[in-house]
Structure 1
Amino acid sequence: MSAVVREFVIDPEDRARAELYEFLGLLLAKPAEASLLEQIAGLKAEDTPLGQALGLISRIASVTSAEAAEREFNDLFIGLGRGELLPYASHYLTGFLNEKPLANLRSDMARRGIQRAEGKYEPEDNIASLMEMMGGMIVGRFGTVTSVAEQKEFFNAHVEPWAIHFFTDLEATNSSVFYGAVGSLGKQFMEVEAEAFAILPN
């Protein structure tokens, strides 16, 4: 997603949320390269459910080569004709690509001033882009910091209806070790976010 460069004062907890969204978006946008795997291997995990999931990714990254990560990514999301998983809201919610969930997302993006980055042609309702959008809205990357109420609205409309299902499928896939751990982290984080948003007033 194209972004506006501007600095905002962000609560540390919200910045941590944004960084986790962006971390998931980065991992799901393209195969993890050697430098990224090395960085992940050096992560220090806290003793929380999310921290334990990060610790698992860190341990697996330490023994995963860039070539292995690329094979896993291709098997999962590209494959011959199509990968094991189709990481799009339209597919998960309707069974088809480029359906109403994508149209709804594009309308919401336009209203919020979020534009697809130049050179990207994949439908915007893919999981990596949605993670990037959530992270960007939290820290004001699209021009202004999005209120928690607006975050909840976007999450409930475009992420919550299918992301936990997707990450559960990713966690359970037979063709992945590293990305299976990514699925575990994503599922836990989506559950935490859903629970937190659920207690906010509408």
Structure 2
Amino acid sequence: MSNPSAPIFDPVLSGVPVSTPVGAPLSPEDQARADLYALLARLLLSAPDADLLEALANADPILAQGGELALEQSWERLQLASGVMDPQAVAEEFDRLFVAVGTPSVNPYGSRYLSGYLNDAPLAALRADLARLQLARVRGAGEFEDHLGALCETMRVLVAGAPRIARRSLEEQQRFFETHIAPWYARCVDDIASAEGANYYRLVAGLAGAFLDIEAEAFVVGEESNDRAS
């Protein structure tokens, strides 16, 4: 799969310099994971502009492997919509869903789903984990770290690394995913998909759900394989 989100988007997180280099080139599988995390971060944090919609419409297909049929189908639906949607209409939809005055239709924050309140204990726990990983919120970033888009960007950094930021082991990726994303992402993407007026973002939610389901299952399968081998 080509990277439809190129050029690399400004990260939500910045890293404290670390001594460990990023290392050898990523495997094709990890590069594809990093690309999808980057794309989801971009789409969840701001509306796609005309260039991104065009890039998505012309991107390579995802071909199903194993249990990835849902990902292939959701990708195809998003591609088709990206080729016909008006950028201004998508921008207005994004604002209605996520930026409305008062209470938006969807608040895609972990604290909201895990505790019922924004900026609550789950955000504090996340910040402690990010500090352990030597990651910090970019000054002036518009969203808190527990926004689903910000968490996708964090996973991209853990998978692929970034300038002055070492990529992290699969075990570290799994720990972060299972602690900060797995307990609530399914409810969040369901809320996005079912929100009134969610046309393009219903498809974004479908892609996010299909991909994150694969990630969750892959981590479990990998852990079970390691247990059998030990």
* 8 Å CA contact retained: 1:45, 1:52: no
Residue in 1 that maps onto 2:97: 76
Residue in 2 that maps onto 1:169: 191
Q: Does 1:189 align with 2:205?
A: no
Give the alignment's Cα RMSD to 1 decimal.
1.7
Amino acid at match of 1:154: F
Cα deviation for residue 121 of structure 1 reads 4.1
Q: Distance in 1 between matches of 2:14 and 2:155?
A: 13
Cα deviation for residue 21 of structure 1 reads 0.6
1:199 counterpart SS class: helix
Residue in 2 that maps onto 1:13: 29
Q: Distance in 1 between matches of 2:153 and 2:199?
A: 23
1:196 counterpart SS class: helix
Q: Bigger radius of gyration, 1 or 2?
A: 2
* 8 Å CA contact retained: 2:143, 2:150: no
Between 179-188 and 137-146, the greater mean CA deviation after superposition: 137-146
Q: Distance in 2 between matches of 1:44 and 1:147?
A: 28
Cα deviation for residue 7 of structure 1 reads 5.1
Q: Distance in 1 between matches of 2:28 and 2:169?
A: 15
Q: Which runs of 5+ in 1 are unaligned?
A: none
TM-score, length basis structure 1: 0.94
Q: Distance in 2 between matches of 1:53 and 1:33?
A: 20
For residue 86 of structure 1, the aligned residue among 107, 115, 118 is: 107
* Offset from partner CA, 1:168-193 (integer Å, 9 cap, x none): 22122231111100000001111111
Q: Distance in 1 between matches of 2:204 and 2:168?
A: 26
* Offset from partner CA, 1:31-59 (integer Å, 9 cap, x none): 11111111111123234221221111110
* 8 Å CA contact retained: 1:164, 1:186: no
Equivalences for residues 104-183 of structure 1 within 5 A: 104-141=125-162, 143-183=165-205
Between 55-64 and 113-122, the greater mean CA deviation after superposition: 113-122
Residue in 2 that maps onto 1:2: 14
Flag as ranges the 4+ runs of structure 1 deviating above 6 A. none
Residue in 2 that maps onto 1:27: 43
1:90 counterpart SS class: helix
Q: Does 1:65 align with 2:86?
A: yes
Amino acid at match of 1:102: L
TM-score, length basis structure 2: 0.83
2:100 counterpart SS class: coil
Structure 2 CA distance for partners of 1:27 and 1:171, relative to 1, 3 Å: same
1:175 counterpart SS class: coil
